[in-house]
Structure formats: C-alpha cells, structure tokens
C-alpha cells in the first residue's frame, strides 16, 4: 500500500503570492519596495497569506469597514 502525504504550508512562493494578489511575478520581486514583509530561506523568498491580507487591508480606499 502506497501512502502519500500532502504537505501544507502557510508560506506562499513568489509565484503563488503574485496569483493571490493578482499581480505579476515581477511586481512581487519588488515586494520590499511595496512594504510587503517576506521570509527569505536560502535564496528563496516566501510570503504568508496573513501578510498579504494585511497589505490589501492597508491599501483599501473608501467605504466603511
């Protein structure tokens, strides 16, 4: 019997974070300039959904919350 496990991570790759925010990967390369916190593990950069959601909330314009 073959058992496969799916690893679930709270970290998103640059590509996945770009999809989440609906922006280009190139835009995500400049995350530091945009004020989005990130984690660097080795040469790879990762983002959390919580940080991306916080960025979205900070840049909301108009309307009542």
Per residue in 16-58, pLDDT (tens digit) is 999 999 999 999 999 989 999 999 999 999 999 999 999 999 9
28/65 Cα distance (integer angstroms): 27
**Entry pTM:** 0.77
Strand 39-41 vs strand 11-13: parallel, antiparallel, or unpaired? unpaired
Residue 25 is given by DSSP the state: H
Paired tokens of 40: 């660097």
Q: So what's the pLDDT on residue 27? A: 95
Give helix 14-21 / helix 49-58 axis angle, nearest 10°.
40
In this prediction, residue 14 has a pLDDT band, given cuts at 50, 70 and 90, of very high
Asked if the model's pLDDT at residue 1 lies above 90, the reply is no
In this prediction, residue 10 has a pLDDT band, given cuts at 50, 70 and 90, of confident
């Amino acid at each position: 019997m073959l058992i496969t496990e799916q690893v679930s991570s709270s970290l998103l790759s640059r590509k996945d974070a770009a999809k989440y925010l609906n922006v280009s990967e190139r835009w995500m390369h400049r995350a530091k300039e945009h004020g989005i916190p990130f984690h660097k593990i080795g040469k790879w950069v990762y983002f959390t959904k919580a940080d991306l959601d916080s960025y979205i909330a900070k840049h909301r314009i108009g309307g009542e919350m």
